[in-house]
């Protein structure tokens, strides 16, 4: 398995069909493939032993990129502008071109990570999946060593050292208004409500 701290090197690996990499985020390490790579998406599901109907969060480099994946109005954009980059994942109506594996029930979850390496990777590679780097049912990895010990079938690790761990990103459903908090994570419920 290839390990490097160079995001552009990992972005090149992701250009190969079926490639899956691990990378650091503001919470845990994530598993990424390009969102237009069905083979890569299936490899992640297989590596994790994950229920394919659960969907996966997509990391994007900015709000503009998010708008090319999901439909959103001015109100939703303003709300996200307050939290991105940051540990808030937003459920939005998926564009028709998005793989159903990423958009169960026609909704897709998006986030802009504030982690410098995750941000550099999405800027170089484009939108990528973000699901925790661990077999289903096990604790999410916070170091490259933990990922290697998990024996996941992946091609490379973007080494950002130890990530903070703790709570996952806060997940908010923006397909209705007012939004519904589906999972309270790093950003507390009170901060979400105040932003409304």
Band (130; pLDDT cuts 50, 70, 90) = very high
Q: How far apart are CA 76 and CA 92, in angstroms?
A: 9
- Report the predicted TM-score, pTM, of the whole model to 2 decimal places: 0.93
Give kind and range of the element (H or E) at residue 183.
Answer: strand 180-183
Band (50; pLDDT cuts 50, 70, 90) = confident
Q: How far apart are CA 88 and CA 99, in angstroms?
A: 22
Q: How far apart are CA 97 and CA 88, in angstroms?
A: 24
Predicted confidence (pLDDT) per residue in 142-163, tens digit: 999 999 888 889 999 999 999 9
CATH value at residue 180: 3.90.870.10
Residue 135: what pLDDT? 87
Note down the domain range covering 181: 2-195
Mean pLDDT over each residue of the chain, to the nearest integer: 94
Could you identify the residue written with the tokens 């130890």? 162
% the chain with pLDDT above 90: 85
Band (173; pLDDT cuts 50, 70, 90) = very high
Cα angle, residue 16 at apex, residues 113 and 57 outer, rounded to 5°: 30
Band (79; pLDDT cuts 50, 70, 90) = very high
Predicted confidence (pLDDT) per residue in 92-126, tens digit: 999 999 999 999 899 999 999 999 999 999 999 99
Q: CB of 91 within 8 A of CB of 149?
A: no
- What's the rounded mean pLDDT across residues 6-33? 96
Nearest Cα residue to 131 out of 59, 75, 186: 59
pLDDT at residue 53 greater than cutoff 90: no
Cα–Cα separations (whole angstroms), residue 42 to 17, 64, 97, 118: 12, 27, 17, 21
Q: Strand pairing partners for 130?
A: 57
Q: Domain count for the chain, please give it.
A: 1
Q: How far apart are CA 57 and CA 105, in angstroms?
A: 14
């Amino acid at each position: 398995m290839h390990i490097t701290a160079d995001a552009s090197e990992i972005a090149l690996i992701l250009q190969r069909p079926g490639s899956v990499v691990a990378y650091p985020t503001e919470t845990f390490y994530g598993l990424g493939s390009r969102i237009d790579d069905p083979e890569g998406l299936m490899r992640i599901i297989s590596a994790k032993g994950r229920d394919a109907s659960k969907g996966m969060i997509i990391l994007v480099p900015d709000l503009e990129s998010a708008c090319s994946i999901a439909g959103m109005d001015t109100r939703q954009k303003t709300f996200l502008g307050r939290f991105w980059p940051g540990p808030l994942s937003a459920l939005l109506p998926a564009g028709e071109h998005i793989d159903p594996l990423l958009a169960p029930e026609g909704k897709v979850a998006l986030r802009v990570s504030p982690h410098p390496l995750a941000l550099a990777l999405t800027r170089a590679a484009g939108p990528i999946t973000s699901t925790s780097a661990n077999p289903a049912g096990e604790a999410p990895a916070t170091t490259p060593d933990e990922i290697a010990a998990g024996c996941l079938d992946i091609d490379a690790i973007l080494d950002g050292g130890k990530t903070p761990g703790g709570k996952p990103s806060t997940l908010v459903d923006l397909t209705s208004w007012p939004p519904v908090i589906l999972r309270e994570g790093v950003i507390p419920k009170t901060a979400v409500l105040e932003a409304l």
